[in-house]
Structure 1
Amino acid sequence: MTHGPADLHVDVLIVGAGISGIGAAYHMRTQCPDMSFVILEKQETFGGTWTTHRYPGIRSDSDLHTFGYRFKPWTGTPIATAPEILRYMGEVIEENDLGRHIRYGHRILTAEWSGTDNLWTIEAERTADGTRVRVTAGFLWMCQGYYRHEEGYTPSWPGMDNFAGRIVHPQTWPDDLDITGKRIVVIGSGATAATLVPAVTGKCAHVTMLQRSPTYFFTGRNINELAEMLRTLKVDETWIHEIVRRKILYDQAEFTRRCREEPDKVTAELLGAVRAHLGPDYDIATHFTPRYRPWRQRLAYIPDGDLFAAIASGGASVVTGEIERFTRTGIQLTSGEELEADVIVTATGFNLNVLGDIDFTIDGTPLRFSDTVTFRGMMFTGIPNMAWVFGYFRASWTLRADLVGDFVCRLLHHMRARGARRVEIVIPPENADMPLQEWIDPENFNPGYLMRGMHLLPKRGATPEWQHTQDYWAEKDEFPAIDLDGPMFAYG
């Protein structure tokens, strides 16, 4: 396909101004100051999830000491609200003069790689007026996240059209929804439901969390005692940030090990914490004892036990059962029980988004992402000059965004030193016959959104360099040691 001149050319194009994209921009400014870059962001402001999600009570489900960037100390409570996170990100943008690199309101339509020119050509549309914009870039840094912001995942149940009230998904919470005096049913029991239920308790007539099966929850005070002690000792915030991060990461690695090696003990501890909040007579076996071992799905953190406090107050309740159909006045369960509702919230997950739903072509051939093999969960066979930020499931997303940032900047410098305009991941002969499997082992981690979208994702190989291992404790040392002249890197 022949294009006219580009409206803009940069060394690096960053897709998305969410937590990953702003981090990538910081790394470019500090580690590659002589290289040009731009961020294209579809929304009219930065923030990604923290801007598009506006349901009541939205907050992080990771602690901000590790979800915050490595380079900027977090000084607030560990579990933070969306406005607090946005304020933090805004400070990063202002303090590092990143705003001039961001083009808001630009939806990317296509990304075409030309091996002849060793360039990406990106065509975007200005959302304000539909004007087309063409950008060329030497390297593409995908920081768009991994789910569709426009629509969440809602299963189809019989009778949904008959319901007389409102059905809403948290991802598209309507501004005009008044919950005062309303009976609410929240379908789901993940982090979103666990956030939403205490946020609306006391503001509506009653809220019921309806789950098909239970979820594991952490509980604890929304304060980091180590951080507070160090502040009392007048330790510099930069030191506090690093010390607290290391302590949290060590604890997380130890907890993950225990989940694998002594799951029964961990289960007893988690359920014991729930029992402490809800009392000995509450039916924890039915409503809070999952069918799977801890950490096969993400654990939601419940700061100050607010979900359990809402249940204990009587303003919220939990029902465990299967939906048979929606009725005019609520939901009929297969057990025969009917839950009356004025508002039904489907906190049932999201739709996986692969490479931003952008149409990719490589030298004129449409890209099938699922045909590629991943290198360390960030580069892929058959896709030159491109890296993707995909964070951790069992630790904070941003930990990996920082690691990938260091790697990409080191790779860009290495390419320049070699005089290379192209780099592509190849499988060396010694790995040519390795078995290929799905992106993530479902026996290790199996949330619904991944199971529904696994066929869209790249394949993994038999050894850690050909996998997204989910192991920050190992990757923090392995990523800096990656040999950029190794046999899996083909330069041109």
Structure 2
Amino acid sequence: MGDMGDSEIMSSDLLDVIIVGAGISGINAAYRIQSALPSTTYTILEARGATGGTWDFFRYPGFRSDSDLYTFGFPWRPWAQEKYIADGDSIRKYIRDSAAMYGIDRKVQFHQKVVSANWSTDQQMWTLLVDAGGEKRYLHARFVILSTGYYDYDEPLSTTITGIENFKGTVLHPQFWPEDFDYADKKIVVIGSGSTAVTLIPSLAEKASHVTMLQRSPTYLLARPSVDAFASFISKLFPSWIAHRVTRYKFLLQNYVFVKFCGRFPAAARRLIKKATIKELPKDVPHNPHFEPRYNPWEQRLCLCPDGDFFQAMRSGKASVVTDTITNVVENGIQLASGQILDADVIVTATGLKLKTAGGAQVSVDNVPIKVGEKFIWKGAMLQDTPNLAFVIGYTNASWTLGADATALLVCRLLKYLKDNKYTSAIPGLEHSETLHSVPAMNLSSTYIVKGMKELPRAADKKPWAPRETYFADLWEAKFGKITDGLHLHRVLV
């Protein structure tokens, strides 16, 4: 990377901002930048061949959101469909239409995988090494926004399944679902109990002979109508822009209150969820052990099933749940610790995501690599000791987009402050990091998050290094908080 800082950069080649990733976070960041700072030059680098990020990548049957689209959708382009827990195709189209509507799609460069990013203190700029379809190129910017999500597209979370090599049927991971895979009349076992498994089961059950969800431990499941009665009612009374705003705030407050309730009164929350679940279950399926998690609600992410589709599949007899551990995989199925053998033609390993930051790119400052997992995160948005770099992290207990938007608004405000005061860089810095008590940046105990914690930046028990907590607090901070708190500002002539 030594040749990056040596070459003379023409001013016309230097962008104000480079956004990495054309998923929902990247498109949102682009909208906020071009709206708040219309003279700012920017581009979006996308490693794949289409916008949409997660929503373009995953193609397994039934793929959908487990957040409501009134808060998961862009605040600047309301979700207009009746179904607020939407399928992947609808969300992908919504993202692309939104980008096209505001000309953001013309700013996207496809098949541009960022390999590394190096900040030059002398030149006060980032240089990105990009793999452009096998060819090497360099791009330069004053500021970089990493909207790459938090998991690895190339590799799922590894898990050891004893004897899986013995299986004579098909083994699939949802992350790499084959196009047009025919599972009609097949016996399918889905290993896992998270949102991916809960999404897959009802969709697979429509064609398969039978689908079994094999879980080591249960997950909280909530059935919700896919069309919100309040939203439907209010849309008949008011113009669409008012109805959407009211509905959006209803969902924001509803989710906020429920998460707080679960945290404050976990036993009561367990009882409420248990009562609702028992109402949905077939009479011959006991709540315990299949739907009695060992943790409290929202210590791991809660799974939603629209119109109770998961329970409908169980009541139809096409789906079932087994709570047990695997002792061995045999030629035609899975042998369990109880002695039971689950017959299978197809095994689906819905065992989780592998965390990865910056899309795997190596981030450096003056050619010294930054170890993301050893750095604290400033206001949930920037990395300690790393100049002019935003790191988009959403929420674990609310819609991801809410956190991404709070970051985008904060970055726009910071960019304006730097420009107005003629600063060239802002560096989050700590004089005495040993005085901070480290806490997880993502406050869930899910296996994939616990295993991948070293990939994520650290958070602390003190502001401005505290983790994201609520959208309302982060939105206030982004709009009105002290922008210079914890920042070292530099004005360097280049």
TM-score, length basis structure 2: 0.95
> C-alpha distance in 2, partners of 1:330/1:279?
25
1:426 deviation in Å? 1.2
Q: Which residue of 2 aligns with 1:85?
A: 91
Deviations along 1:244-288, one digit per CA (max 9) or x if unpaired, are 111111111111121112111111111111111114542111101
**Aligned alpha-carbon RMSD (Å):** 1.6
1:174 aligned partner, one-letter code: P
> What letter is aligned with 2:74?
Y
Counterpart contact for 2:171–2:346, Cα < 8 Å: yes
Aligned to 1:412: 415
Counterparts of 1:382 and 1:53, CA distance in 2: 34
Q: Counterpart of 1:222?
A: 226
Determine helix, strand or coil for the equivalent of 1:150.
coil
Counterpart CA distance in 2 for 1:419 and 1:160 is 60
Instruction: Find the counterpart in structure 2 of residue 479 from structure 1.
Output: 478
Contact between 1:434 and 1:462, CA under 8 Å: does it hold in 2? no
Q: Which residue of 2 aligns with 1:384?
A: 387
Match of 1:95 in 2: 101
Cα distance in structure 1, aligned partners of 2:188 and 2:9: 51
Paired residue type of 1:253: Y
1:372 to 361, 375, 383: 375
> Aligned residue for 1:435?
436
Match of residue 27 from structure 2:
22
The equivalent of 2:65 in structure 1 is: 60
Alignment partner of 2:435: what SS?
coil
* CA distance 1:103–1:247, change in 2 (3 Å): same
* 1:39 alignment counterpart: 44
- Deviations along 1:191-244, one digit per CA (max 9) or x if unpaired, are 1111100001130111000000100011121111221111211x2222122111
**Contact between 1:154 and 1:346, CA under 8 Å: does it hold in 2?**
no
Deviation of 1:459 (Å):
2.1
Indicate conservation of the 8 Å contact 1:152/1:172, yes or no: no
The answer on 1:294 being equivalent to 2:300 is no
Report the equivalent of 2:75: 70
1:145 to 146, 149, 152: 149
- For residues 281-328 of structure 1, give each alpha carbon's deviation from its aligned partner in whole angstroms, at most 9, with x where no partner exists: 421111011010000000111110000000011000000011112111
The SS at the match of 2:179 is coil
Deviations 1:40-73 (A, max 9, x none): 0011000011111000011000000000011111
1:435 Cα deviation from its structure 2 partner: 2.8
Name the SS of the counterpart of 1:265 in structure 2: helix
Q: CA deviation at 1:412?
A: 0.6
The whole-number CA distance in structure 2 between the counterparts of 1:96 and 1:111 is 28
Q: Report Cα offsets for 1:99-155 as digits up to 9, x if no partner.
A: 22100111111111111101100011122xx11121000000000000011222241
Report the AA paired with residue 173 of structure 1.
W
Contact 1:111 1:359 in 2 (8 A): yes
Q: Distance in 2 between matches of 1:100 and 1:262?
A: 49
Structure 2: runs of 5+ lacking an equivalent: none
The aligned counterpart of 2:118 is 112
Q: Percent identity?
A: 36
SS in 2 for 1:296: coil
Q: Which residue of 1 aligns with 2:349?
A: 346
Displacement of 1:433 after TM fit?
4.8
Partner residue of 1:307 out of 300, 310, 313: 310
- Cross-structure match for 2:286: 283
The answer to which of 199-208 and 11-20 deviates more is 199-208
TM-score if structure 1 supplies the norm length? 0.95
CA contact (8 A) 2:119 2:127 kept: yes
Whether the 8 Å contact between 2:406 and 2:471 is mirrored in structure 1 is: no
Letter in 1 for 2:480: A
Which position in structure 1 is the counterpart of 2:204?
Answer: 200
Q: Which residue of 2 aligns with 1:173?
A: 177
Distance in structure 1 (CA, Å) of the matches to 2:199 and 2:471: 26
CA contact (8 A) 1:15 1:40 kept: yes
Q: Give 1:469 deviation, angstroms.
A: 2.8
1:298/1:274 Cα in 2 relative to 1: closer, same or farther (>3 Å)?
Answer: same
What amino acid is the match of 1:296?
Answer: E
Deviation of 1:348 after TM superposition, in Å, equals 0.7
Contact 1:145/1:389 (<8 A) preserved: yes
User: Which residue identity does 1:118 align to in structure 2?
Assistant: Q
Q: Structure 1: state its 5+ residue gaps.
A: none
Question: Is 2:235 the counterpart of 1:231?
Answer: yes
Equivalent in 395, 399, 403 of residue 400 of structure 1: 403
